[in-house]
Amino acid sequence: MLTQAQVNQYNADGYLPGVPILGTEEVARYRAECLRCCGPVISDGVHRQPSNRVKPYLLFPWAAELVRHERILDAVEALIGPDILVFHTTVWLKEAGAGSFVPWHQDATYFGLEPHEHVTAWVALTPSNQKNGCVQVLPGSHRAGQRAHRDERDQRAMLSRGQTLSESLDEASAVDLLLAPGEVTFHHTLMVHRSAPNRSRETRVGIGISYIPARVRHVTETRLSATLVRGEDRHGHFDPEPVPRVEGGPEEIEAHALSLARFHRASESIPEMARAH
């Protein structure tokens, strides 16, 4: 799926702009399923992201299918190798006029993964543009390593702890990741990025899938779970996750709740990943 030039661009800039991957019919089906299953807000009353929008691949067969999409995995394999785990997934459903935003941050900040080889595939199920709050990146910012963050109290911030870069940035070099439905961008875990509120009249829908090579481990005492989607796991750093058979079935709900509980416990125990690396 990716040329050597694209791989080189990713390594140099920390991201790849939109790669056309999903067909029109696939986009329509995934978008409809996503809005049906993840549009309603199901909250645990504690965390900012609705629980049905986090790791939906443990609840819904359509999401389990998407994270295993062959063409997405082909691209990911070109970036991180053939043994691939899904570590995390978030539905970025940004309603029109809601004011929700994502501050400048690095994905690595509270994931607690080592080494820093995690890549996010951001799948556009609607157009993503400046008006509806597309992702912005600072090219090359991943090369500076893990930076200091602070927790932001603003409840409009869509991240788990509102994690926000503590240092000032030169935003003049920011690049908008403009996407058509079915295009996928890829960015490095240390890439500095953000997204503004949706000021359009339509909901913006994207799904961020966090892929890691099986050699990557988690550094806190909490043992987490992950899903092998390609190749082999010869390391055993994570407990394997089940594939959902029934949409929202009791076994699926239990597996999802356990995985999220572990993830939140681990991430909330990390004061700041700059101290761990």
Q: What is the per-residue pLDDT across 220-242, written as a single tens digit (0 to 9) for each?
A: 889 999 999 999 999 999 999 99
Closest to 99 measured CA to CA, from 205, 31, 200, 206: 200
Average of per-residue pLDDT values in the chain: 87
One-letter identity of residue 82: P
Whether residue 128 contacts residue 204, with contact meaning beta carbons closer than 8 Å, is answered with yes
Q: How confident is residue 20, by pLDDT bands cut at 50, 70 and 90?
A: very high
Residue 157 in this model has a pLDDT that exceeds 60: no
Q: Between 119 and 144, name the one with better pLDDT.
A: 119
Q: How many CB atoms lie within 10 A of CB 86?
A: 24
Q: Report how far apart, in Å, the C-alpha atoms of 243 and of each of 13, 89, 150, 226, 259 are.
A: 34, 14, 35, 11, 13
Q: How many CB atoms lie within 10 A of CB 141?
A: 24
pLDDT tens digits for 21-52?
999 999 999 999 999 999 877 655 444 455 88
3-state helix, strand, coil in the chain (%, to 5): 30, 25, 45
The whole-number pLDDT of residue 255 equals 95
Residue 165 in this model has a pLDDT that exceeds 70: no
* Residue 233 structure tokens: 């796991």
Q: How confident is residue 275, by pLDDT bands cut at 50, 70 and 90?
A: very low
User: How many domains does the chain divide into?
Assistant: 1
Residues above pLDDT 90, as percent of the chain: 62
Tokens 């913006």, located at residue: 204
Residue 168 in this model has a pLDDT that exceeds 80: no
Q: What is the mean pLDDT of residues 76-104?
A: 89
**What CATH number is associated with residue 121?**
2.60.120.620
Whether residue 186 contacts residue 178, with contact meaning beta carbons closer than 8 Å, is answered with no
The whole-number pLDDT of residue 48 equals 47
**Backbone angles phi and psi of 148, in degrees to 5:** -70, 140
Q: What is the mean pLDDT of residues 84-89?
A: 97
Domain that holds residue 152: 4-239+248-275
List of residues 6+ apart from 28 with CB closer than 8 A: none
Tell me how far apart the alpha carbons of residues 96 and 105 are, in angstroms, rounded to a whole number. 23
Residue 274 in this model has a pLDDT that exceeds 90: no
**Least confident span in 5-14, 18-27, 158-167:** 158-167
Whether residue 135 contacts residue 177, with contact meaning beta carbons closer than 8 Å, is answered with yes
Tell me how far apart the alpha carbons of residues 171 and 263 are, in angstroms, rounded to a whole number. 32
